[in-house]
């Protein structure tokens, strides 16, 4: 398990254990099964399950199923699948709020008998109007002082089905002038004459969230009730309800703690709006790869590790903020860069005839030369190849470095070619380019990817982009007006033949284009369908009309980014423009970068830690000056990762230790036993152990639920603390699952 970053929730739990306020930490994740989980829920899942695991406790999964009109068993199944895919499990602790309906009903009667609840016959509109405002007190209901016996009889009649929906409600009797609006005689029960997906047709009254929530926590023995900040005002009511009940009937007295929810730019996470997207056909269901649902991210090709890493980097605090999705994409790139083999695929082909070229088969490496792994694939080459149309310009604009009249370029893995001529088609567009093969003494202006025209295979590629164009959809107008009409473009691309062997659910990097995922739901053996998960670089200023970001988008971005001379120098050293922008604007971070690269570490590797990890550590530990290490140690850490001695996951653990204890990265790895696990026999035994612990999931996988493959890999990686080679683990899991 990764060394956890510090946050106020972790400190509260640690203090409670140390001071004896609890002996076993019990948390819960309580989703309402009225839709699919979204990326915001991922933060709550990682926090609840992560805190419990760190302190040797447990985390329950509880379905907050108090509204049968909007809930469905299909949502229950989807929620469970999402949590398992993220790498977490609740074991035997699957609960439902509806499991406690009988107890809640009896307790509601207790409050009626003690004069703390009453049946109100006002309409919903009257109740809303009479609640008052933050500046004026509410108006008591005319039914507020009705006799307890009368309210008891009516409450039983409500549950028998004697009244239609909305005829009356049960309310707590607290204080209609209370400054906290939640305490102004809150609603406890409403009539819904419909059966329940889990509880059957026993009930005609259903509890509201505020009445069911705290009591469910208490009955399950929850010690730390973690929820987002919008429930801050509910805490007083949460405690009031618990105070009204006999202490000997409550197995525990939980406490509620609030943290800031995860807000993501260019995204909507309101269940109401997500329902509308699905219902109105703007997307292809809840798991559409453009949706911010966990199922959507999974189907698009995001990895559980990248989402967990993203949540960790965002951190846990009470300060609300909106996160740029570029951070999530950066986490995914980092995860896939070391695991996705490279291939060449052309999305918008332009034919190029090569004078002097002969047909042959190249042995092209599947991994970059600095990757700690070996492997290659055969790539046909011949006298006619296809390149990206955006890689050629008859009249190149300023800054264009690719093929043009008078230019020499390198064809990836194949050698140098020089422009000779070009032909125009009937529409006036370039139809063909002619080049000649030249020797290596020439200096190329760029390197292009390509495929051999004679051997190219057609593959379907889904090019996904953000679903919304505005960073705050719906804030200024109807959210539908902010939809991106180019959020999906289906392309028939030309690919090297090796891509046909790509396994379902695997990832590939299309060189110079991006990371792609073989979607199991649409692919068949030998006929892969690729989803673009993320381009190789973030391009904030891309045009919605531009179908393919790479390589055109990178250079277009350079023309609109305001890089200073310092920033341009950083780009020349291999940094992305986003990284250069951060470092040119922050002298303190740039000083760390300079110190780290002075050790000889690769600048692009160091930049990832300086730009993303250092600010997070500074926030958690009170500033950069509070960290117990410096740029030299950061450079040494980057060297360990670059040489393959440790993985990026282990590097995060080392960073967490450096932040509080200092020391040498290499010494920490050795002393803490953090070296990567590369013993295939040991990993195979661990894979067997994981599969043996989950026979139902193994059976489900063999029955067609191939998405569980990621769950098995995640369990192995979790048990090794991220020290195993994920590629090797995937291979071993596949081998173990295949009869």
Q: Where in the sequence numbering do the catalytic residues fall? A: 32, 261, 271
CB proximity list for 711: less than 8 A, separation 6 or greater: 84, 85, 87, 694, 697
Maximum CA pair distance of the chain?
100
Angle in degrees, CA 415, 420, 421, rounded to 5: 130
- Asked if 330 and 612 touch (Cβ cutoff 8 Å), the reply is yes
What count of other Cβ atoms lies within 10 Å of the Cβ of residue 344? 28
Token pair 């709550």: residue: 44
> Beta partners for 27?
59
Rounded Cα gap, residues 182 and 414, in angstroms: 70
CB proximity list for 145: less than 8 A, separation 6 or greater: 118
The token pair at 336 is 């896939």
Rounded Cα gap, residues 187 and 646, in angstroms: 56
> Beta partners for 602?
none
DSSP string, 303-352: -HHHHHHHHHHH---S---EE-HHHHHHHHHHHHHTT--EE-EESSEEEE
- Asked if 204 and 191 touch (Cβ cutoff 8 Å), the reply is yes
Paired sense of beta strands 415-424 and 430-438, if any = antiparallel
The token pair at 421 is 């001529």
Token pair 């971005």: residue: 557
Rounded Cα gap, residues 384 and 375, in angstroms: 26
Token pair 């949502």: residue: 75
Among left, alpha and beta (phi > 0; psi -120 to 50; other), residue 474 is: left
Checking 129-137 for CB contacts under 8 A at 24+ apart, the result is 131/176, 131/181, 131/184, 132/176, 132/177, 132/181, 132/184, 134/179, 134/181, 137/176, 137/177
Rounded Cα gap, residues 404 and 641, in angstroms: 38
Token pair 């989807």: residue: 78
């Amino acid at each position: 398990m990764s060394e956890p970053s510090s946050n106020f929730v972790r400190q509260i739990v640690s203090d409670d254990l140390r001071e004896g306020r609890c002996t076993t930490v019990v948390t819960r994740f309580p989703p309402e099964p009225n839709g699919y989980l979204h990326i915001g829920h991922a933060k709550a899942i990682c926090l609840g399950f992560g805190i419990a695991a760190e302190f040797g406790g447990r985390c329950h999964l509880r379905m907050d199923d108090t509204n049968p009109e909007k809930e469905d068993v299909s949502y229950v199944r989807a929620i469970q699948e999402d949590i398992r895919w993220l790498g977490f499990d609740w074991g035997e602790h699957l609960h439902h709020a509806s499991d406690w309906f009988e107890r809640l009903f009896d307790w509601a009667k207790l409050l009626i008998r003690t004069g703390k609840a009453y049946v109100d016959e006002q309409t919903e509109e009257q109740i809303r109007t009479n609640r008052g405002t933050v500046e004026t007190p509410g108006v008591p209901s005319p039914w507020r002082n009705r006799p307890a016996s009368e309210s008891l009889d009516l409450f039983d009649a409500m549950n028998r089905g004697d009244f239609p929906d909305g005829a009356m409600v049960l309310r707590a009797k607290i204080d209609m002038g209370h400054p906290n609006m939640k305490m102004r005689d809150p609603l406890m029960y409403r009539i819904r004459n419909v059966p329940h997906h889990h509880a059957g047709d026993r009930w005609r009254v259903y509890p509201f969230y505020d009445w069911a929530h705290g009591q469910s926590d208490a009955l399950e023995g929850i010690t730390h009730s973690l929820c987002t900040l919008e429930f801050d005002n509910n805490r007083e009511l949460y405690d009031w309800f618990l105070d009204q009940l006999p202490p000997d009937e409550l197995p525990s007295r939980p406490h509620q703690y609030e943290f800031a929810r995860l807000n993501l730019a260019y995204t909507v996470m309101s269940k109401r709006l997500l329902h509308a997207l699905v219902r109105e056909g703007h997307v292809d269901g809840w798991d559409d790869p453009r949706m911010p649902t966990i199922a959507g991210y999974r189907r698009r090709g995001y990895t559980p590790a990248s989402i967990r890493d993203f949540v960790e980097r965002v951190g846990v605090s009470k300060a609300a903020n909106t996160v740029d999705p570029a951070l999530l994409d950066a986490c995914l790139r980092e995860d896939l860069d070391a695991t996705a083999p490279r291939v060449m695929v052309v999305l918008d082909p332009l034919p190029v005839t090569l004078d002097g070229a002969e047909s042959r088969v190249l042995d092209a490496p599947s991994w970059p030369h600095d990757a700690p792994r070996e492997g290659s694939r055969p790539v046909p080459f011949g006298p006619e190849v296809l390149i990206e149309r955006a890689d050629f310009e008859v009249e190149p604009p300023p800054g264009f470095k690719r093929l043009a009249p008078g230019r020499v370029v390198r064809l990836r893995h194949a050698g140098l070619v020089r422009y000779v001529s070009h032909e125009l088609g009937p529409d006036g567009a370039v139809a063909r380019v002619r080049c000649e093969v030249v020797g290596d003494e020439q200096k190329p202006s760029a390197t292009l990817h390509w495929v051999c025209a004679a051997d190219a295979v057609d593959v379907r590629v889904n090019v996904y982009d953000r679903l919304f164009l505005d960073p705050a959809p719906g804030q200024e107008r109807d959210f539908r007006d902010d939809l991106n009409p180019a959020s999906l473009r289906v392309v028939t691309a030309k690919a090297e033949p090796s891509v046909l062997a790509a396994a379902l659910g695997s990832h590939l990097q299309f060189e110079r284009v991006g990371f792609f995922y073989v979607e199991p739901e649409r692919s068949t053996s030998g006929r892969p369908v690729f989803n673009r998960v993320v381009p190789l670089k973030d391009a904030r200023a891309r045009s919605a009309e531009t179908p393919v970001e790479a390589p055109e988008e990178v250079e277009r971005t350079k023309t609109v980014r305001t890089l200073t001379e310092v920033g341009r120098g950083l780009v020349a050293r291999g940094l992305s423009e986003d990284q250069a922008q951060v470092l040119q604007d922050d002298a303190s971070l740039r000083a760390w970068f300079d110190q780290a690269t002075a050790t000889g570490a690769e600048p692009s590797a160091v930049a990832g830690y300086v730009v993303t990890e250092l600010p997070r550590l500074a926030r958690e530990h009170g500033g950069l000056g509070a960290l117990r290490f410096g740029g030299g140690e950061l450079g040494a850490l980057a060297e360990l990762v670059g040489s393959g001695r440790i993985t990026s996951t282990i590097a995060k653990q080392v960073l967490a230790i450096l932040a509080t204890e200092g020391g040498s990265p290499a010494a920490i790895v050795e002393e803490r036993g953090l070296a990567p696990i590369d013993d295939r026999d040991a990993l195979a035994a661990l894979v067997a152990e994981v599969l043996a612990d989950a026979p139902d999931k193994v059976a489900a996988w063999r029955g067609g639920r191939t998405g569980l493959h990621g769950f098995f890999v995640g369990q192995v990686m979790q048990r090794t603390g991220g020290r195993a080679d994920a590629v090797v683990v995937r291979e071993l899991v596949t081998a173990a699952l295949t009869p």
